[in-house]
Chain A
Amino acid sequence: NAGVTQTPKFRVLKTGQSMTLLCAQDMNHEYMYWYRQDPGMGLRLIHYSVGEGTTAKGEVPDGYNVSRLKKQNFLLGLESAAPSQTSVYFCASGRDRDTGELFFGEGSRLTVL
């Protein structure tokens, strides 16, 4: 069981370039989330999804887009990367809100020059 897999794990971009982070889970979870983690700011929610075909904005959605075309995959896109988007990105998935447990991927470290 792989759990939650994020690709790529590391990436360096130049300002203005675009990229997509892929999150894949094999636990048949309905809920999926994208967070970014910056020193001193904890985990901030970018976008989330409560099921296949659904997405919703989190606390810091600007500059990011997401898609959940398949239940097991949640894609995070940066259309025009900015240095402020340098961060560690975590994807997480969960079965239902009452069970609560989120399973996190290992994180993707993105640097924008």
Chain B
Amino acid sequence: QQPVQSPQAVILREGEDAVINCSSSKALYSVHWYRQKHGEAPVFLMILLKGGEQKGHDKISASFNEKKQQSSLYLTASQLSYSGTYFCGTETAHDYKLSFGAGTTVTVRA
């Protein structure tokens, strides 16, 4: 079952912040975040493991609420290069299926 992402799309000015949410109905082992530029393959940003710490990648960070089976990706002081579609992927403890959400399209404008 695919995780649910929100919002579907967000438009930002350079320097603004945004939050992308990801939730699952299943008990999660890990949450992954990827970014895909138009016409390209998805690229790994970070993984959050159950019991692990909040991660960061430049000015992009994420958290994982294990009790609620939710994760949030934080885009801070957005740059033009942050534009793309962001996908969260989730994995349960019982199998190795990595299921992705439908994606959140981020557009950063000058």
Contact = CB atoms under 8 A, between A and B. Distances in A.
B98 A33 contact: yes
A2 interface: no
B98 A45 contact: yes
A106 B41 contact: yes
A43 B100 contact: yes
Contacts of B44: 100-103
Given A42-B87, A90-B42, A98-B30, 5 more contacts: A45-B98, A59-B1, A97-B91, A100-B30, A102-B34
B41 A101 contact: no
Interface residues of B, number: 27
Contacts of A41: 102
B84 to A, nearest CB: 13
A44 B100 contact: yes
A97 B49 CA distance: 10
A75 interface: no
A31 to B, nearest CB: 6
Interface string A87-113: 000100000011111111111000000
B61 interface: no
Candidate in A31, A43, A44 with the most chain B CB atoms within 10 angstroms: A43
Nearest to B1: A59
Contacts of B5: 42
Nearest to A41: B102
